[in-house]
Amino acid sequence: MLEVIIASSIKVVFVLAAVLTGCAYSTYLERKVVGHLQHRIGPSYAGPYGLLQPIADAVKLMFKEDVVPDKVERVTFALAPIISFAPALLTFAVIPFAKDDNVFGYDVKMVLSDLNIGILFVFAITSIGVYGIVLAGWSSGSKYSLMGGIRSSAQMISYEVSYGLSIIGVILIANTLSLRELVDQQASTSIWFFANWYVFKQPLGFLLYLTCAIAETNRLPFDLPEAESELVAGYHTEYSSMRFAMFFIGEYANMLAVSAVGATLFFGGWQGPFVNEVPFIGMFWFALKVFIFMFFYIWLRGTFPRFRYDQLMNFGWKVLLPLALFNTMVTGLIVVKGWF
């Protein structure tokens, strides 16, 4: 029993450290990539090539004054960043990040919690994060913040339906809700290691997932809850110091979470060349796939303008939802006919 607790604790610390480090250096990646897209240098002073910039940002935020306006609802104002930040971290509890292996004579599962309803857990827990944004906007006592919170709730409702339907096709084909089993089903023994990836069986489902995931994480071109040109900073306008940092880190943690889930559902998770020959190389393939997702996120930010609010709503209800329903019905018909 003690050995299980120690092994589980080590895995939790490892995953938490990896996620927080990934969040920190996602900010560095974003500044560098957007800088190059806009013919700028990006961070270059803090450490070699600016690699210590995320650490400098963390130190700055820790020592900034935590300003709390007079008219806020203090309890909710304090809880909102935690509600926004925690669900993103909990998502990683059910995502397998490598092949199960033997470490120092012990069989170790490379997933924190192998739930047989892993996908349901992911979608249930990530949908809680929007409450943090809504409560932050309401409790701040600011019209700009309130507008950002209302926009976020409307956006989440509009895109959450299509977001859930986008993966129904994968579930119908795989006949499981376990993320670990989904990864195992995408394995291939041929030289074409990617032959069984679900992105080839569900191309429309993947495009729907990717689009809705960007909207769910409030990233450009769907960043209406922040929209600095209209709402100053939206729902976190009145936040400063580490409370603002929790919203900031939570956004990147959510980006990493949906990237990890997307890589697991559609791109084989940790599956790749030599996973059965080289120990722990599955971690590398998994991290590489998540990195490609993150790069695409940032590329979009430097490429597309923000939607108008009416365009956002129309796109969600009149384009994505009908396509998601169509994809679900066609996939269901194909599965019933036994064509997969």
Distance, CA of 58 to CA of 21 (rounded, Å): 11
Please name the amino acid found at residue 225.
P
Token digits for 313?
């709503």
Task: Report which DSSP code applies to 119.
Answer: H
Residue 173 phi, psi dihedral angles, 5° rounding = -70, -45
CA distances from 306 to 154, 228, 296, 328 (A): 16, 11, 16, 29
Q: List helix spans (H) across 64-177.
A: 74-90, 118-126, 129-139, 143-166, 168-174
C-alpha separations of 225 from 31, 49, 86, 87, 166 in Å: 21, 33, 19, 19, 23
In angstroms, the CA 26 to CA 30 distance is 6
The residue among 202, 307, 217, 305 whose CA lies nearest residue 259 is 217
My answer on whether omega of the bond before 221 falls inside 30° of 0, hence cis, is yes
Q: Which amino acid is at 232?
A: V
pLDDT tens, N- to C-terminus, the chain (340 residues) = 677 777 788 888 888 899 999 999 999 999 999 898 888 888 888 888 889 999 998 898 888 888 888 888 888 988 888 888 888 888 898 998 888 777 766 777 888 888 888 888 988 888 888 888 888 888 888 888 888 888 888 888 888 889 989 999 999 998 888 898 899 898 887 778 888 899 999 999 999 999 998 888 888 888 877 776 667 677 888 888 888 888 888 889 989 999 999 999 999 888 888 888 877 888 899 999 999 999 998 998 888 888 888 888 899 899 999 999 999 999 999 888 877 6
Q: Name residue 189's amino acid.
A: T
